[in-house]
C-alpha cells in the first residue's frame, strides 16, 4: 500500500509523520517483562513483541492487560550463558548446545524450512492461546527478513494470520538482495515505511539511533525499536549487553528527550494495532 493511502486510511494527512516505538524481547527475562510493561504503561512506548519460546514468556502473558503486543518470531538464542530452544519438534533448529543456533549463518545453513514453518506458526498460536490479542509480527535478529526462503515463511504467516509485519525501508531492497517490500505489497501485507536500524556493535542500545532518526524524521510511518529492561542481577547474568537495555528503559520511561523530539517534529505516536485494523479492513474487501 502506498504511504499516502495508508496515512489516509489511518485518519492522517499525506504529509504527516507517524512513529511506532516498539519494545523487543518481552518474555526473554523477568527484567525485560518489567521494563517493557513499564515502557508501555508509564513511558512513551506504543507496542512490544513477545518471544514465545523464552523462559519468561508465560509470565509476560500473566502480566498482559491488553497492550499492543505482537510476536517476535524467534529462531535464535544468542546469549552465551542463557539459552532457549524450539517449542515444537524441530531437530534442524537445535545446535550442539541444545538450544536455537546463536548466529544467523548457522540457522540459515541448517534449518529445515518445513520445521521453521511449524515452529513459527506454533509460536503465534501459543501467544493467542495465552490470551494475547496479537497485533503484528517481527523477526528476532532479522532472521526472517534477510533470506528469501525464510522471508517466504514470514510473509506466509502474515497473510495467514492477517497481521502487519516489520520490514526495513523500500530503499534497502537492493542491499538485502530481493524485493521483499514488493512481495509484501503483492500479498496485501502492511508494514511501516521505515525501520530505524540500531547502529550498535552489541545490537541493542537505541539512544543514538532513535535521536538521529527523530531529528530527521521522514513523512510516513517509522518504527524505532528498543530493548528496555530493569537493572537486576538476573539481567546482568543473562545478557552481556545489559547496560544498553537498562539505558533503553531510562530513555523510554524516565526521560523526556524522545517526547520532546517527537513534538518538535509535529509527529504522532501510533502502535501496530492501528495498522492491523487497516490491513484487516482492506483484506476483508
| Cα separation, 22 vs 82, whole angstroms | 23
Say if domain 3-283 classifies as CATH 3.40.50.720: no
| Residues annotated as part of the active site | 24, 227
Please tell me the predicted confidence (pLDDT) of residue 1: 84
Please tell me the predicted confidence (pLDDT) of residue 202: 58
One-character DSSP codes across 215-270:
HTPPSEEEEEEE------HHHHHH-S-HHHHHHHHHHHHT--HHHHHHHHHT-EE-
Q: What is the pLDDT along the chain (285 residues), one digit of tens a residue?
A: 899 999 999 999 999 999 999 999 999 999 999 999 999 999 999 999 999 999 999 999 999 999 999 999 999 999 999 999 999 999 999 999 999 999 999 999 999 999 999 999 999 999 999 999 999 999 999 999 999 999 999 999 999 999 999 999 999 999 999 999 999 999 999 999 999 877 555 557 789 999 999 999 999 999 999 999 999 999 999 999 999 999 999 999 999 999 999 999 999 999 999 999 999 999 997
One-character DSSP codes across 40-78:
HHTSS--EEEE-TTSTTHHHHHHH--S--EEEEE-----
DSSP 196: E
Please tell me the predicted confidence (pLDDT) of residue 201: 53
Q: Where are the domains of the chain?
A: 3-283
Q: The cell 508509564 sits on which residue?
A: 42
Please tell me the predicted confidence (pLDDT) of residue 205: 74
Please tell me the predicted confidence (pLDDT) of residue 200: 59
Cell of 57: 514468556
What pTM does this model have? 0.96
Amino acid at each position: 500500500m502506498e504511504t499516502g493511502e495508508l496515512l489516509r486510511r489511518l485518519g492522517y494527512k499525506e504529509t504527516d509523520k507517524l512513529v511506532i516505538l516498539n519494545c523487543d524481547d518481552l518474555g526473554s527475562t523477568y527484567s525485560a517483562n518489567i521494563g517493557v510493561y513499564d515502557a508501555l504503561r508509564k513511558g512513551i512506548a506504543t507496542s512490544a513483541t513477545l518471544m514465545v519460546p523464552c523462559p519468561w514468556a508465560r509470565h509476560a502473558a500473566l502480566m498482559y492487560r491488553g497492550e499492543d503486543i505482537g510476536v517476535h518470531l524467534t529462531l535464535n538464542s544468542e546469549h552465551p550463558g542463557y539459552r532457549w530452544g524450539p517449542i515444537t519438534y524441530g531437530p534442524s533448529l537445535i545446535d550442539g548446545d541444545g538450544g536455537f543456533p546463536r548466529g544467523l549463518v548457522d540457522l540459515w545453513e541448517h534449518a529445515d524450512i518445513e520445521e521453521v514453518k511449524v515452529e513459527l506458526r506454533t509460536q503465534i498460536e501459543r501467544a493467542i492461546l495465552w490470551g494475547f490479542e496479537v497485533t503484528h509480527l517481527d523477526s528476532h535478529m532479522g532472521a526472517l527478513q534477510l533470506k528469501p526462503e525464510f522471508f517466504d515463511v514470514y510473509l506466509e504467516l502474515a497473510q495467514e494470520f492477517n497481521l502487519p509485519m516489520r520490514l526495513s525501508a523500500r530503499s534497502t531492497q537492493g542491499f538485502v538482495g530481493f524485493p521483499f517490500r514488493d512481495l509484501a505489497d503483492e500479498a496485501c501485507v502492511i508494514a511501516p515505511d521505515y525501520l530505524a536500524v540500531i547502529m550498535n556493535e552489541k545490537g541493542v542500545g537505541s539512544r543514538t539511533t532513535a535521536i538521529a532518526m527523530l531529528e530527521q524524521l521522514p513523512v510516513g510511518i517509522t518504527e524505532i525499536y528498543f530493548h528496555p529492561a530493569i537493572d537486576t542481577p538476573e539481567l546482568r547474568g543473562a545478557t552481556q549487553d545489559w547496560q544498553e537495555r537498562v539505558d533503553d528503559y531510562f530513555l523510554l520511561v524516565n526521560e523526556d528527550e524522545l517526547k520532546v523530539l517527537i513534538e518538535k517534529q509535529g509527529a504522532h505516536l501510533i502502535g501496530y494495532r492501528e495498522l492491523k485494523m487497516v490491513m484487516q479492513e482492506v483484506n476483508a474487501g
